[in-house]
Amino acid sequence: MNSLLNKMVDDYEKTSRINYLGMEMIEVDSEVIKIDGVSIDVEIDLEKYNTILEDEKLPNKYEKLSKLGIQLHKDMKMKNGRRIPSAILYDHRLWAYLSLTVFVEIIEKLWFIEVDDEKAKDKIRKYYFNNGTASRTGFLFLWTMVDKLVGEENEESEENEKRVRTAFEFIDPVKAIYERKMSRNDVVIKAFVDAIIRNNYPNKLKGKKKKSLVPTSISCFAALCMVDAFDYEELVKIMAEQQKMALDV
């Protein structure tokens, strides 16, 4: 994988284009993906992803990302309806494989339009190979975020669609919570997003100072209190109160 990464970056430096010709270095089986000898069988219809990207009714990128994330989460279930083991779904190698094969052109459309050379080289590492912090990757992060918000529930319920859309609309403070240790509790991200919905003052979370102030305030609270000790409704209430205090509303 590292040799392919280096080849793609080198080619980009020479041509300013993403070169897919090195993909033959990846062993592709059109029927089955194997990770550590475990086979997974999924169906992905790329037309659905392209339709979302081209939908003029979704003018904002966060709306497209939320729809893509929901579609991805829905697709990454085996044909028999069983959930693929988390150890596989959270493995960066699976997402590197999918990013370099199935989703290669979707990723280019999403993240490689009008990018300067230095940023593009960094983006190759992040979006195709999932190198670095998980929240700064592409389809790996799309999957992870929706999974933390939805889990095994219906991705397309009205409540979950609103939750995912809100998370991507306020992605900077949500990422800031995601990157803190307290997010190891899987419900923390979901509670934080539900608190944003409950408080319903969107513009106050979008300023440069505010988007970092709220996660810092909640992180300080979490350092003093064990978030694992609260049930879900209590946690949402606390998150909402901490947001209000930080935003002084």
Q: Where are the domains of the chain?
A: 1-151, 170-249
Mean pLDDT on 106-130:
78
Statement: residue 24 has pLDDT above 80: no
User: Higher model confidence: residue 138 or residue 220?
Assistant: 138
Helix (H) or strand (E) holding 140: helix 139-150
- The stretch 226-247 carries a mean pLDDT of 83
Model confidence at 23, pLDDT cuts 50, 70, 90, reads: very low
Q: Which of 120, 109, 128, 104 is nearest to 2 (CA)?
A: 128
Q: Does residue 218 register a pLDDT over 80?
A: no
* DSSP letter (8 states) at residue 41: -
Average pLDDT, the chain: 77
The residue whose two tokens read 């799309």 is 142
Contacts of 199 (CB under 8 A, 6+ apart): 240, 243, 244, 249
| pLDDT over 80 at 225, yes or no | no
Q: Tell me: pLDDT of 20 over 80.
A: no
* pLDDT, mean of residues 95-105: 85
Select the more confidently predicted residue: 160 or 247: 160
Q: What is the pLDDT of residues 68-98, one digit of tens each?
A: 999 999 888 765 566 677 777 888 878 888 8
Could you tell me the two tokens for 96?
Answer: 């590197």
Give me the residues paired with residue 33 across strands. 40
Q: What is the DSSP letter of 34?
A: E
pLDDT tens figures, 122-166: 888 888 888 777 777 889 999 999 999 998 888 889 999 999 999
pLDDT for res 202: 60
Higher pLDDT, 32 or 121: 121
| pLDDT value of position 111 | 85
Q: 159-203, pLDDT tens digit by residue? A: 999 999 999 998 888 888 888 766 567 788 899 899 999 988 666
Helix (H, G, I), strand (E, B) or coil at 82: coil
Separation CA 143–CA 68 (nearest Å): 9
pLDDT: is 21 or 193 the higher one? 193
* Residue 233, C-beta contacts closer than 8 angstroms, at least 6 positions apart: none
Map tokens 């998980």 to a residue: 134
What is the Cα–Cα distance from 231 to 132, expressed in whole angstroms? 32
DSSP-based three-state secondary structure for 16? coil
On the question of pLDDT at 213 being above 80, the answer is no
Residue 37 pLDDT grade (very low, low, confident, very high; cuts 50, 70, 90): low
